[in-house]
Amino acid sequence: MREIVLSIIGLLSPVSLIILIVGYFIRKHKRFKKYYVGIINSPKALKPVDIMGIRGDEGHGFRSYYFERNEVDGEIRRIVNDRKHVLITGKPLSGKTRLIYQTMKMLGDNYVIVIPRMVDIDPSEFLFPPKTVQKKIMIVVFDDMDKFAGKQNFQFLMEGLLRQGAMIVATVRSGPEHERLRKTLETGHSLIFSQRFEIPSLSEDEASVIAKETGRGLSSGFDGTAGSIFLGLEAMKGRFDECSSVEKSVLKCIKRLYYSGLYLEREVFSLKQIRNLGRVWKQLELSQYQWDEIVENLEKVGFITVEGEKVFADKAILSM
């Protein structure tokens, strides 16, 4: 076969050969883009949006301030430096994803960080990350790993990554999501997480420090999570109660898409998918004018932001 390929290449003109080579690398690049958010060759080059998605953008609420807790951050760094797989669990808005970002940024240049996309996998075309050179260590980050586990050929992905010697750093919400993931891993190859770390609740003193440093007040809606300080959950719940029944149904559709892992990227949804689910699940037979009015109202109260056919959902409504 090798001789046949070389014979064919020998018949090609230089221009045809260049086109063939360029086409091959373009197709390969497209396949990597399909299955990976990014493959970052140095933690120094890692950006908040790489790990956190839209939440890592300053225009969508990201803050550079970070409150470090030694019993949390120090322990996760120790586990990662020991080159052990780790599963980080915690309540919604407890800061699981931000913790991973901060941990990765503290690593040296001997690490490569791989961030897969949450999509179904076709083994016939899937490309695993290239094996690292110069003794670099590959860390693969699965944020909300239970949602990845619901995609086709997840076990194929995991087995391939583990064969390559990759470290797995993942998050999952405490409760039903964690239990689903545990069962998936048990029925697959084996349990890989010998290290599981539950993020503890913030004390009121710690929360007061965060609120002061970020110019916020500590409301009665504080529930022990960092997110409840920033997102104003109590105010959001009040606004939700004031929404019409149809507006509430639309928000519930967005939340259902989120928990089903059906989004363009984290907290970013297709307006068409929301409409389709509204018709099928909530029997929302609405005209285009009515949809436009509902979307506009939900934007005004701060639940969503719309850019063309993309809907950016506030993290608070996905956690209520």
Sheet containing 304-307, strands listed edge to edge, beginning at the edge strand earlier in sequence = 268-270, 310-313, 304-307
This prediction has a pTM of 0.79
pLDDT band at 234 (very low <50, low <70, confident <90, very high): low
Q: Where in the chain is the domain with CATH 1.10.10.10?
A: 233-319
Question: Which of 240-243's residues contact partners 24+ apart within 8 Å by CB, and which partners?
Answer: 240/303, 240/317, 240/320, 242/301, 243/297, 243/298, 243/301
Q: Between 1.10.10.10, 3.40.50.620, 2.30.30.60, 1.25.10.10, what CATH number should domain 233-319 receive? A: 1.10.10.10
Query: How do residues 75-89 score in pLDDT, each as one tens digit?
Result: 999 999 999 999 999
Which position has the higher pLDDT, 283 or 189?
283
Q: What is the percent of the chain with per-residue pLDDT over 90, rounded to a whole number?
A: 44
Q: Residues spanned by CATH 3.40.50 within the chain?
A: 35-198
Which tokens belong to 11?
């018949």
Q: Which amino acid is at 92?
A: P
- For residue 295, the cross-strand partners are none
Q: Which of 157-166, 184-193, 231-240 has the lowest mean pLDDT?
A: 184-193
35-198: CATH topology: Rossmann fold (3.40.50)
